[in-house]
Amino acid sequence: MMMRYERETVAAAMRAVICCLLALSFVVITAFPIRADQAEEPLQAEQVVETIRPLRFETSPLDLVGSNESVVGEPCCEGDRFWLINTRHLTSRARCVNLEQPEFAVFQIRPRQRSVGVTLDDYLRAVGQRRRVVVYVHGNRVPAREAVQRGLSIHRKVKCFRSKESVDWVIWSWPSDKQGILIRDARIKAARTDGQGLYLGWLLRRHAEVEAETTLIGYSFGGRIITGSLHAAAGGSLAGRQLPGEPLRAANFDAGLVAPAVDSHWLTNRGYHRLATQNLNRLVLLYNRRDAVLKRYWLVDRVRGRMALGYSGPTAFAPRFDGTRLPVRSRDCSPSIGIQHDEMDYYRKSCRADLEMARLIDDFYVNE
């Protein structure tokens, strides 16, 4: 019969062997290069419709820009219009994206969860009616249906702190479904953010053409897509690709970034997204210096010392188009959120992301 200390020694040795095997598996799995299209299964047109089937899809585009009676009937949402721009059926490989005329799948989300497919031209005519446009970009590991529900949930929380002025609330849905273990999944999605940044940058140029005042709100990798899109719209290069046509400068977009998974130095004078500030009017940054996921952000590119802006907080930013300093309002939310990397915690707890984003949309932060 084995003595107690002998049993403990054997158990410890078994645990050590298991740990070594897990570590070896991690090294093998993460050693291979990641491409933006890896494990990416583009949706066909009929599958895009299926992703919002619970919203009772309509085929008639009548009343596209209708009156206040044709929007969501909740008292907290009266007057606002809701849109879904779906890119899940498109490639996210930056070198392969269509930068002439991306074939976005565009829908208007209608009252009582009804929706209608519309053309991009119809959408642009609607948002060009001198209404504030808010583009919400979700984070990683969000399935298509959850992206819609998450976007509407964030809207409800923000709306209750906003003024009565109506907005067009746009949900940007990108291919972020879970792809394996966390670190490998993060590398796949990080590779996709360049292509998504080019797509969104293309759309922002169209917003500028129809004079749509635009506020961008993004969480985690959604924040990385937003800063990349602002950079691309200004003529910047992402993964060696640039948008065709004249660069967009001085567009005065506002941006609210919640725990952004973007390098802390990318918005500096020599950073990868250095031209993003050329089109920024104001920036609200909510970060968490205890975030357990963003603390390991350096593993995405395998460069020790790299920190996410959503972990480090504000560092330095390139100047705006006119050479002035970018107004940045920031808050460390770690006291209320702790080590969690959960978007809704920023809206449910004392960090008050709902109030911060509402004030950003309402131009409350003037010359701050």
47-66 pLDDT per residue, tens: 444 444 444 333 333 333 33
Question: For residue 70, what pLDDT is reported?
Answer: 35
CA 187-191-196 angle, to 5 degrees, is 135
153-191 pLDDT per residue, tens: 999 999 999 987 899 999 999 999 999 888 999 999 999
**10-residue averages of pLDDT along the chain (368 residues):** 55 58 42 47 44 38 33 55 97 96 96 83 93 96 96 96 92 95 94 98 98 97 98 98 97 97 97 98 98 96 92 96 97 97 95 96 69
Question: For residue 7, what pLDDT is reported?
Answer: 57
SS3 351: coil
Please, what is the average pLDDT of the chain? 84
Cβ pair 80, 169 in contact under 8 A: yes
SS3 358: helix
Question: For residue 358, what pLDDT is reported?
Answer: 97
137 — phi, psi (to 5°)? Answer: -120, 115
d(CA 224, CA 263) in angstroms, rounded, equals 8
DSSP run (H or E) holding 127: helix 120-127
Question: For residue 71, what pLDDT is reported?
Answer: 35
d(CA 285, CA 362) in angstroms, rounded, equals 16
Q: For the chain, what are the domain ranges?
A: 1-31, 40-361
Q: How many residues does the chain have?
A: 368
185 — phi, psi (to 5°)? Answer: -60, -45
Question: For residue 25, what pLDDT is reported?
Answer: 44
Question: For residue 57, what pLDDT is reported?
Answer: 34
d(CA 281, CA 1) in angstroms, rounded, equals 75
d(CA 368, CA 364) in angstroms, rounded, equals 9
| DSSP label of 238 | B
